[in-house]
Structure formats: C-alpha cells, structure tokens
Amino acid sequence: MNVIRLEIIVPVLTFLSVIAIGASILISRAQKRKTVETRLPDRILTGNGEAASRQKSSFVQFLERIGNLASHGHATTSLWEQLIRAGYFSTAAPAIYTGVKMLLFVIGLVGMTILVMPMEVYATTKITSIFLGGSILFFVPNIILLTQLRKRHAEICLHLPEAIDLIEICVSSGIGLDMAWNIVADEIQHVSPVLASAMALSNFEIHLGVNRVEAMRHMAVRTGVDELSSLAAILVQTERFGTSIGTTLRVYAASMREERGFAAQENAEKMSVKLIIPMVLFIFPAVLVTTAGPAIITIGKVLFTK
C-alpha cells in the first residue's frame, strides 16, 4: 500500500511542481514584457507580440467570465479599494481576481482529491482534507494582494517626504504648485514608480478640471496613505489664510520625517518583546540541553546503574 501511495504522490507532486515553475516563468516574462510595452510606442509591438497579446487576453477573458459568474457581476466596495490601492485600476480587475480565486480553489480540490482518495482514512477526514486544500489555495490571492498593497503603501510613505521637499524647492524658486507637482512626478519616476504614477494620475485629474485639493484627496483614497489627506488639508489652510506654501511644505516634510523616526523607535522597542517567543521556543531549550544535559546523563547513570 505504501508503494502504491508513493507511485501516486510522486507524479502528482511532480506535476504540481512543473505547473508552479511554468506559471512563475510565464508571470516573470509577462512582467518584463509589460515593462517594455510601457516604454516602447504601440506601433513597435507587432507580429508575435500581437499573437501573445491575443492569447493572454483570451485567458484573462476566461478568468473574467469565471469571476462574473461567481460574483454575479458585482464587486464589493472594499475589494475595489484594495485592488486600486494595490495598483490594479482595470474595471475587470475584481472579476479577474475572483476568477483566479475560484480557479485555484478547483485546482486545490482536485489535487487534494488525488492525494487523499487512495489513503485508508475515514470519509469525513478525506472530505475535510479536500476542502482544506481547496481553501488554502483559495486564499492565496488574498495574501498576494495584501502583500502588494503593503509594499506600495510602504514605498509611498518612504519617498513622500523627499517628493514634498522637491515640490518645496520648486515652489520656492518661483514655479507654480501645479507645474512643480508635474516636474516632481517626472523626476522621481526612476526612484519610486508607484509614487510617480500616483502623482501623474492626480495631475491628470487636475488637467481635466478637478480641483487640486480634491485631486490630492482622491490620490489619498487610491493609495490609502493618510499623509496625503493631511497634505491636502494643509494646502487648503494655506490658501485660505494666505501663508507661504514653501514654508508649509518644508515644515510638513520635517514633521513626516519625525513621525517616521518615532515609528522606527517604536518598532525597535517592540522587537525585544517579539524576540521572547523564539527565545523560549528555540534558544532556551538548546541552551538548557547543552548546559544541563551532561549533568542529567551523569546523574541517571549513577542512580540507575547497578
């Protein structure tokens, strides 16, 4: 029976490994191609590029259909906000996201069914294991989405004080705030593409006629960064009372750096508390065995040796 299980498990694990490796290669190539497509003009992308684009769009459309069937064509507001903050602005993003979750759920069910069915266990254990495997893969996109969201949020918070400093320098040199915002968005493209794209989108809204403060508030909602909402409120107060924009931006950037330093100190203080669990679970038992082990062995030999 163990030989039969081994003959079933090894091919299944090999098949899943090949699928995972192939999927990672395809995703990596797609990301590289997406970067190239954003830099090259559309007229260069011909021939094989169009064929690959058609194949990719057909698979995306398949995922979108699955997502629409599962969600009945309606996405929740929280899902929209998470996808936008993670950088997915397409109107089909919620459906594709739901389709990927359903597809992974089915793959998990099928894979666990192949692994569990030959085992000699109770039927309830088999059913529980099958649904557990499907549920684990079902929540993988949630983890990836939260990771992407936190990564973008951390990148924006990291480079926002420097961007505000650059805006302050431009404003102090006599450039208007709108033009300074556009210049800084172009300059930080190579440093922080996430912040640069968010600023460019906000600048696009301003060109379409949206008020600058409202555009910044929309940017804060899209990115989930509270500092941008505070910046918009400060600019409103500056325009209302007629104070210097350059001085206001300089003070706000300094306050952001102070808050970032306080957050770093807080995390450093928490680190000693967080280290207690791994010390108790891993370090302390090893030290106890190393120091008291020889003595315990010697006492055992003396007491139990006749």
CATH of the domain at 251: 1.20.81
In a domain? residue 228? yes
One domain for residues 60 and 161: no
One domain for residues 210 and 222: yes
| Interacting residues of 229 by C-beta distance below 8 A, sequence separation 6+ | 216, 217, 220
Structure-block tokens of residue 56: 């990719």
Do 108 and 133 form a contact (C-beta atoms < 8 A)? yes
- CA–CA distance from 170 to each of 176, 189, 200, 217 (Å)? 8, 17, 17, 22
One domain for residues 140 and 210: no
In a domain? residue 9? yes
In a domain? residue 118? yes
One domain for residues 125 and 163: no
Instruction: Tell me the residue ranges of DSSP E strands in 94-196.
Output: none
Q: Return the H-helix or E-strand segment holding 281.
A: none
CA distance 78 to 220: 15
- Indicate the length of the chain as a whole number: 306
In a domain? residue 302? no
**Which segment of 30-44, 102-116, 214-228 scores lowest on mean pLDDT?**
30-44
Do 238 and 248 form a contact (C-beta atoms < 8 A)? yes
One domain for residues 120 and 157: no
Give mean pLDDT, residues 270-281: 85
One domain for residues 134 and 101: yes
What three-state secondary structure class fits 193? Answer: helix
One domain for residues 135 and 241: no
Do 144 and 77 form a contact (C-beta atoms < 8 A)? no
Range of the domain at 75: 2-32+49-149
- CA–CA distance from 163 to each of 14, 154, 223, 239 (Å)? 48, 14, 15, 20
| Interacting residues of 112 by C-beta distance below 8 A, sequence separation 6+ | 129, 130, 132, 133, 134
Q: Return the H-helix or E-strand segment holding 143.
A: helix 140-172
One domain for residues 66 and 144: yes
Alpha carbon of residue 45 to chain centroid: 29
Q: What percent of the chain has pLDDT over 90?
A: 1
The pLDDT of residue 254 is above 60:
yes
Q: Within 10 Å of residue 126's Cβ, how many Cβ atoms?
A: 16
The predicted structure's pLDDT at residue 44? 37
The pLDDT of residue 66 is above 50:
yes
The predicted structure's pLDDT at residue 4? 47
Q: What is the mean pLDDT of the chain?
A: 78
Among 101, 123, 149, give the residue marking a domain's end. Answer: 149
One domain for residues 145 and 209: no
In a domain? residue 289? no
What three-state secondary structure class fits 187? Answer: helix
Give mean pLDDT, residues 285-299: 84
pLDDT band at 20 (very low <50, low <70, confident <90, very high): low
In a domain? residue 235? yes
The predicted structure's pLDDT at residue 37? 52
One domain for residues 122 and 185: no
One domain for residues 123 and 18: yes
**Which segment of 65-74, 127-136, 292-301 scores lowest on mean pLDDT?**
65-74
Neighbour-count burial for 101-110, b at 16+ CB within 10 Å, e otherwise: bbbbbebbbe
Q: What percent of the chain has pLDDT over 70?
A: 81
How many domains is the chain built from? 2
The predicted structure's pLDDT at residue 47? 42
One domain for residues 60 and 195: no
In a domain? residue 43? no
Among 149, 173, 208, give the residue marking a domain's end. Answer: 149
78-137, pLDDT tens digit by residue?
Answer: 888 888 888 888 888 888 888 888 888 888 888 888 888 877 778 788 888 888 888 888
In a domain? residue 299? no
**Which segment of 28-37, 178-187, 237-246 scores lowest on mean pLDDT?**
28-37
